[in-house]
Amino acid sequence: MNTVFYKYSGNQKMKKMDATKLLLVSYFLFSLCGCAAVGTAVSHMDKESNTQMSNSIILPPKKKSKIVYIHITNSTNHQDLNINKKLKESFKEKGWEVSDNLEYSNYVVEGNVIQVGKKSMTSAEEMLGSGYGGAFDGFASTAILASSASTGVYGAVGGEVVDNAVKDVNYTLILDLKINVNHNFKEDFKTRLLSTVDQVNLSYKSAKTPLVANTVKAVVGLMS
């Protein structure tokens, strides 16, 4: 019986080494993505919320009669916020009289919700920095897209698999707010409010309540 010996050529050895290296590199990159996902899950496990103002406003000293007229509009697709209702309830809890008569009131709170939904903090803070009546969106989203497009192939493949399961999600609510005192319409107090809620795999349903609550708290706090 003849024994047959197989001999690897130099090219075959190189191909085997390249395949092994590719497997090791792929495993290493996938492990990194997995570690990043675990880190994201741990650091953003708890729901975190925050409210910021584009500029500080200080109202004149209050009179004995605290009568407020409230009118908040909502130009977003999310018409389920009920901010007007929540504001009225909160003002009443703080001892204010809420009136539907504009002329009878000595404080007028007006505003418009200009954005609700997922948004990167960079883009949201650019909108906040634009101030009352400023631009609705900055260039942050464009920059983020450009950065994402230049990501390496291995990182994209590994990250897509793991990150689909674990995502740090940020929801924002942006309100342009105007407060008038004693019908002195020559001096309106204006600011832009940004409320944020951040958590792993956060849904709109879960983010809506704290977004509205924080916005209402900030508005009432300005007049406390």
Q: Domain residues of the chain, as ranges?
A: 47-150+168-222
Q: What is the pTM of this model?
A: 0.70
Strand order in the sheet with 48-53: 48-53, 189-200, 168-181, 107-118, 67-74, 97-98
CB atoms within 10 A of CB 161: 13
| Residue 63: per-residue pLDDT | 73
Give pLDDT, residue 51.
97
pLDDT 10s digits, 168-205: 899 999 999 999 998 776 779 999 999 999 999 999 99
DSSP 89: H
Specify the pairing of strand 97-98 against strand 48-53. unpaired
CB atoms within 10 A of CB 163: 15
Q: Which CATH architecture has domain 47-150+168-222?
A: 2-Layer Sandwich (3.30)
Burial classification of residue 78, based on how many CB atoms lie within 10 Å of its CB (0-12 exposed, 13-18 middle, 19 or more buried): middle
Spans of the chain, pLDDT less than 50: 3-8, 36-38, 40-44, 138-159, 161-162
- pLDDT for res 9: 52
Widest Cα–Cα separation across the chain = 113
Tokens at 115, concatenated: 């954005």
Q: Interhelix angle for 204-222 vs 83-93, to 10°?
A: 40
User: Residues 67, 69, 72, CA angle at the centre, nearest 5°?
Assistant: 150
